[in-house]
Amino acid sequence: MKLVISALLVASAAAFAPAQNGRASSSLKVSELELGATEPLGVFDPLGWMETEPESFERRRAVERKHGRVAMMAVVGTIVH
């Protein structure tokens, strides 16, 4: 039993060790407009706002992120409460 517990502790500690990679790159090489795009479909814009109103499209994207974060906090608050 002690052997099993010690093996589990060693395995869980290994999960937090840094990975041994030869070279790591931190640049994403993705433009801001391509975020949220899927490979075969591209950016999901069924109403065509990206071409007609690009400045309002960026605002809508930022507002959507804000609402998503508020919704996530509401779910956490519901779970905690």
Residue range 10-33, pLDDT digits in tens: 777 666 766 666 665 555 565 655
The answer to whether 69 touches 77, Cβ cutoff 8 Å, is no
Residue range 34-78, pLDDT digits in tens: 666 666 767 777 787 777 877 787 788 889 889 999 999 999 999
**pLDDT, position 28:** 56
Q: 3-state class of 18 per DSSP?
A: coil
Q: 3-state class of 75 per DSSP?
A: helix
Rounded to two decimals, the pTM is: 0.46
**pLDDT, position 51:** 79
Among the listed residues 41, 45, 40, 39, the one whose alpha carbon sits nearest the alpha carbon of residue 64? 45
The answer to whether 30 touches 37, Cβ cutoff 8 Å, is no
**pLDDT, position 5:** 83
**pLDDT, position 81:** 87
